[in-house]
Structure 1
Amino acid sequence: MGPTLVPLWNAFPNLLELRVLREVESDDPESPFPLVMAMKFETRDHIEEALASPTRWESKETSKKLFEMFDGGVIHTVFAADQFDPMSGS
């Protein structure tokens, strides 16, 4: 990823959390996800602001070198998430 991408990804406006996930193993080796970047925002409006930001376009340009390392394409998906605390039993 190089030293430039994580600081750039961390610069997205309203970002609460950044996770960079690398696949270690899968029960579907025919459909690999070598890298997943997950960002957490408080609201849908914050997501829209981040997607419209200059940081996103700079990130896309800088990430082109990363994409050359993998076969396939890049998928952008917005998820809604429920968070559960296993220690609380809920």
Structure 2
Amino acid sequence: MITRRAIFEGRIKPGMEDRFFEEVESRLAPLWQAFPHALAVRMFRIEDCDDTERPVVMIQEVDYPDREKMQEAITSPARDAARARTIELLEMFDGRFYHVISGKNRLSAKR
């Protein structure tokens, strides 16, 4: 399994915080859930961040069975629709977003 994360780094424009997250939950999350091969979709609204110069306000995660299935998803019409909606939401956001991909990693329990 692999996880593709979108990191939203920056700030939501003043006074638009609630609307931004309402739009994410009502209009964008259903599009994420429609991605082909998505095993799980999560969205985290960040409440605090150590780096005030480059704060992270949201992280979105989608789990896929493998890299091939992820590639199918990110080249699908569902992804195109989500990307178009994301661009609309960026009108309320000053910053950038980027993706990171990780495999399944586990730390051993301390004994």
Q: Same fold (TM over 0.5)?
A: yes
Residue among 30, 38, 49 paired with 1:7: 30
Where do 5+ consecutive residues of structure 1 fail to align?
none
**C-alpha RMSD of the superposition:** 2.0
SS of alignment partner, residue 97 of structure 2:
coil
> What corresponds to 1:17 in structure 2?
40
| Larger proportion of strand | 2
Q: What does residue range 1-90 of structure 1 map to in structure 2 within 5 Å?
A: 1=21, 2=23, 3-83=26-106
State the TM-score, normalizing by the size of structure 1.
0.83
Greater RCO structure (CA 8 Å; 6+ sep)? 2
Distance in 2, matches of 1:64 and 1:43, equals 27
For residue 12 of structure 2, what is the aligned residue in structure 1? none
Cα deviations across residues 44-70 of structure 1 (Å, max 9, x unaligned)?
111101111111111100111221221
- The number of residues matched between the two structures is 88
Query: What is the identity percentage for the equivalent residue pairs of Structure 1 and Structure 2?
Result: 31
Instruction: Tell me the TM-score normalized by structure 2.
Output: 0.69
